[in-house]
Amino acid sequence: MAGYRILAVHAHPDDESSKGAATMARYVAEGHRVMVATMTGGEAGSILNPAMDRPGVLENITAIRREEMANAAKALGIEHRWMGFIDSGLPEGDPLPELAEGTFATLPVAEAAAPLVALVREFRPHIIITYDEHGGYPHPDHIQTHKVSMFAFDAAADPDYHDPAGADIGAPWEVSKMYYTHGFVPERLKAFHEGLLEAGLESPFAAWLQRFADNQREDVGARVTTKVRCGAYFPQRDDALRAHATQIDPHGFFFAVPLLVQQQLWDTEEFELARWRGREFPLPEDELYAGLPEAK
């Protein structure tokens, strides 16, 4: 059987490694084509790993993050494309400052989506993975990534769509399924929290769970339709995370739970079937390609 083609759309380099990475690595190993489209270069990112907070890093952050992304893609076995937009940064303060003009989140959606529409027509994915309407968390680039993904899902299939720059972007293509990735399901964090305490280990998740309760945030677990078993590929996910050395502390949050404990307590990644074409898909699912005709 020919493999399916899966396109994951992310805002910054490192997002692909913390959201659905083990699923992507598993699908590549099983013969499917997986591509990540990164909307921005991550130029506005801070240095979040103390070991990388040294002279010369921040000054060369764009080039360094490109190299990190290449190493992460190699760890997962995925294909990768840059969409070429400028990181908007995460505004802080009260009131929040205006985003810099020309950055990704400030652009009209149709303009920001144009390279992605072209990529969808070129790569012809059966499945797109992106963020929900909240962006996974309220970073302006994540919310814009949701918007451009939704736009591309429709525009790539529309025979009347024309590239704003007049480029020939090929024939229309209908994506069969679109998923939102849900990486921080409260039940998953709770399982890890309780598992660490039972093992006599310190848990970093109590504060996270309390924030969920205090903020009365929507339980995204209730939105999950699809759980992909991928625990055997957590090592590849972790290698990809470590590749983003400016962003990921190898002694930090992402590595707080021993690998074996993760595989025993929660060996899936969670997704929400958000849009689809051609037929209804029975839910829940255990694969992103569940219900699709054989790939050609």
Are 289 and 3 spatial neighbours (Cβ–Cβ below 8 Å)? Answer: no
Crossing angle of helices 21-29/234-243, nearest 10°? 120
- 182 marked as binding residue: no
Residue 208 CB neighbour total at 10 angstroms: 17
- 146 marked as binding residue: no
- 142 marked as binding residue: yes
Question: Which of 117, 221, 283, 92 has the alpha carbon at shortest distance from 291?
Answer: 283
DSSP per-residue codes, 25-80:
HHHHHTT-EEEEEEEE--TT-----GGG-STTTGGGHHHHHHHHHHHHHHHHT-EE
Alpha-carbon span 117 to 65, nearest angstrom:
24
Alpha-carbon span 260 to 173, nearest angstrom:
41
Binding residues: 12, 15, 142
Binding residues for Zn(2+): 12, 15, 142
